[in-house]
Structure 1
Amino acid sequence: MTHNISGDAPYALVVDDDALILMEATSILEDAGFRALQAMNVAQAIRVLNQYNDLVQLLFTDVHMPGDADGFDLARQTTERWPHIAVVVASGQAQPRPGDLPDGAAFMGKPFSAEIVRDHVRKILPDEKLPKPLRT
């Protein structure tokens, strides 16, 4: 699939340890106009964010991944260290408890559709930070 993404398109970091879901979420966000970076666990995601945090506008993360930290931990760390990055957390198993999600983050269940992802992204990112295909 070829994605026509403009040079000024915002970046999204997609984090999931399931390669198929990682590819699906990346494709959905690229089709919505983002340029996507990928990671398969929290440690990789933090390395990507340390390098590209000034470019990333959206973190889209799974909850359950290998390692000492999960997607809720990643969401909280991201919001604390890089408050300009909007956060969407997705899970097919976990439901957020009080304190799991940082303020302003969105949660959605799996499986998800492109429409559901786009709706969540529109709700948490201001219009001027959205890629052109998602702007109202």
Structure 2
Amino acid sequence: MHAQPEALAPYALVVDDDGLIRMDVVDILTEAGFRTFEAETGDKAITLLEREQKCIVLLFSDVQMPGSRNGFALARETAGRWPHISIVIASGNLKPGPDDMPKGAHFIGKPFSAETVHAHVKEVLPDGQKPDPLKN
């Protein structure tokens, strides 16, 4: 029995300064068929994106993080530099204002369930970028 080649699974970048939440989101996205990269800050996320943007199809980020970029700034910069990357932003404290998020990005309030994350990711990703478990 042969497993599918891993190259077929798309990558998601999970950005959250809270290690437990980051681990939870990684589990949720792995269950949905993604391979993942992780970063604790928006600054580390940009460094990772500069290196790995060709294989990343999804950015899932918290809003409030240490460093020079919060999640909204990270989302806007990602959309501007790498428009092929779909974006989901999550926060338990802040709601986005009119110009906080790039066009097409989704917002999820915390706490969230795996079902909520999967539903938003299915909506935000084009069909060709969805991992098999999220295809209808």
Match of 1:35 in 2: 35
Gaps of 5+ in 1: none
Report the Cα offset of residue 67 of structure 1.
1.2
Measure, in 1, the Cα distance between the counterparts of 2:123 and 2:8. Answer: 21
Count matched residues. 133
Report the Cα offset of residue 75 of structure 1.
0.2
Match of 1:117 in 2: 117
Measure, in 2, the Cα distance between the counterparts of 1:127 and 1:30. Answer: 18
Report the Cα offset of residue 5 of structure 1.
8.2
* Segment of structure 1 superposing worse, 22-31 or 6-15: 6-15
Task: Give the 3 Å change call, closer, same or farther, for CA 67–121 of structure 1 in structure 2.
Answer: same
CA RMSD of aligned residues (A): 1.2
**Equivalent residues of 1:33, 1:133 under 8 A apart:** yes
Q: Secondary structure at the match of 2:8?
A: coil
Q: Residues 32-90 of structure 1, C-alpha deviation per residue, up to 9 Å, x if partnerless?
A: 00000000001100010000000000000000000121000000000000000000000
Match of 1:63 in 2: 63
Match of 1:108 in 2: 108
Report the Cα offset of residue 113 of structure 1.
0.6
Paired amino acid for 1:40: E
Q: Secondary structure at the match of 1:7?
A: helix
Gaps of 5+ in 2: none
Measure, in 1, the Cα distance between the counterparts of 2:92 and 2:122. Answer: 21
Match of 1:96 in 2: 96
Identity %: 52
Match of 1:77 in 2: 77
Q: Secondary structure at the match of 1:21?
A: helix
Aligned: 1:8 with 2:2 = no
Report the Cα offset of residue 127 of structure 1.
1.5
Measure, in 1, the Cα distance between the counterparts of 2:112 and 2:44. Answer: 23
Aligned: 1:24 with 2:24 = yes
Paired amino acid for 1:74: L
Paired amino acid for 1:15: V
**Equivalent residues of 1:5, 1:33 under 8 A apart:** no
**Equivalent residues of 1:5, 1:30 under 8 A apart:** no
